[in-house]
Amino acid sequence: MNPMRGLVLILAGLLAACSQNAPTPQFHADDNPRLLSEWGQLGIVGAELQTGAGVVTYDLNTPLFTDYALKLRTIWMPEGVSADYRENDVLDFPVGTVITKTFYYASAGGPDRVSRGDGHALVTSDGHLDVDAVQLIETRILVRRESGWAALPYRWNEDQTEAVLLRYGDVIPLQMIDADGSETGFNYVMPDVNQCASCHAPDSNTRILSPIGPKPRHLNRDFDYPDGTRNQLEHLTAIGYLTGAPQADSAPRNADWADINASLEARARAYLDANCSHCHSPVGPADTSGLNLEPDIAHGPALGICKLPIAAGSGTGDRRHDIVPGAPDDSILLFRLDNVQPDEMMPEVGRSTIHTEGVELIRAWIESLPGDCN
């Protein structure tokens, strides 16, 4: 056992002992517990959503957009195992790994009223969530078993004391309050077990479930841990959760899509990578489109520049090319991002609202591209 990991687990255990009913992580090799608390990854302690001993929170450079929901992400592994580093793919996680993602909003005074706000302000100094300040929606679990990955969605109850397994998903009407006081109603769609494969089966040939977020280029960033700020890849290595990783400076790194100090190209490509490339790749579910939005694809038809649509149907909006340099309003890509019609929007699942800031970013990027399609 990695000595540092042992120390971390001991300290985490001591801290957990100070809280009544603190979560104790469990790996369920075969059964699918009805209650989220039975996993011991997360649990309500007092007025906080706390992580269990050895459960590591993490974030991504550029995350997937989900109706402006905030997300608390965690990883846990049983003692004695670790993930192997893979530079351009998801880390190779061992059997027993449990990954969670909790979707929540800043509360706006009712179970169906939420605010758009900075998620960092809702997290306590020790990395927990202040339940009185948030509206918990769902927690999704990915668990690595001998047979492969399994996806399980849990819906939080109105009292925010427990989340219950809902294999068939749910549709949750919400009213979002913006900073200027304006309100927007929308349906938050919690996926069923089968719909999880829409994104989490990135190879359309095998249809094998897999995480899509924990890749080095997404994880390679600093994170504010309870004991200080540290690069996430280096932290996972130090506690024994990751082997084979290079120094952070030598690992790939996506830009933060909202970082105005990064180049427009890097921000836009990171956004398209996080939101689109798990489908739009040579082997992804959208491979028939001929559009590849992975971050290392050179400018040209494969990236969509001056490419005629192959299988877009009504999703073209009567536009002729996926991306027209300098002309975002003539580009199918922007039309689909700036849309919520089921047969026209992109991504096709995972959102019911338009990510206005993301659309503005891609608009600016397309406007900046040189050339034309004549």
**Is residue 12 over pLDDT 60?**
no
Which tokens is 279 given? Answer: 């489908």
Q: What is the mean pLDDT of residues 16-26?
A: 67
Chain segment 244-289, per-residue pLDDT in tens: 999 999 999 999 999 999 999 999 999 999 999 888 778 777 777 8
- pLDDT for residue 118: 63
Q: What is the mean pLDDT of residues 202-212?
A: 71
Confidence band for 345, pLDDT divided at 50, 70 and 90: confident
Q: Which of 349, 41, 31, 347 is nearest to 169 (CA)?
A: 349
Looking at the chain, the whole-number percentage of residues with pLDDT higher than 70 is 87
Q: Which of 56, 26, 39, 31 is nearest to 242 (CA)?
A: 56
Backbone φ, ψ for residue 76 (5° rounding): -140, 145
pTM over 0.75: yes
- pLDDT for residue 41: 97
**Residue 194 DSSP code:** T
- pLDDT for residue 150: 93
Beta-carbon contacts of 118 under 8 Å, excluding residues fewer than 6 positions away, are none
- pLDDT for residue 7: 46
- How far apart CA 213 and CA 347 sit, in angstroms, is 16
Query: Lowest mean pLDDT: which of 4-13, 17-26, 50-59, 218-227?
Result: 4-13
Confidence band for 175, pLDDT divided at 50, 70 and 90: very high
Confidence band for 312, pLDDT divided at 50, 70 and 90: low
pLDDT, the chain, mean: 88
Beta-carbon contacts of 94 under 8 Å, excluding residues fewer than 6 positions away, are 77, 81, 82, 83, 144
Q: Which of 202, 29, 170, 28 is nearest to 103 (CA)?
A: 170
- pLDDT for residue 138: 97
Confidence band for 164, pLDDT divided at 50, 70 and 90: very high
Q: How far is CA 356 from CA 214, 353, 360, in A?
A: 25, 9, 6
User: Would you kindly state where each structural domain of the chain is located, as residue ranges?
Assistant: 3-248, 256-368
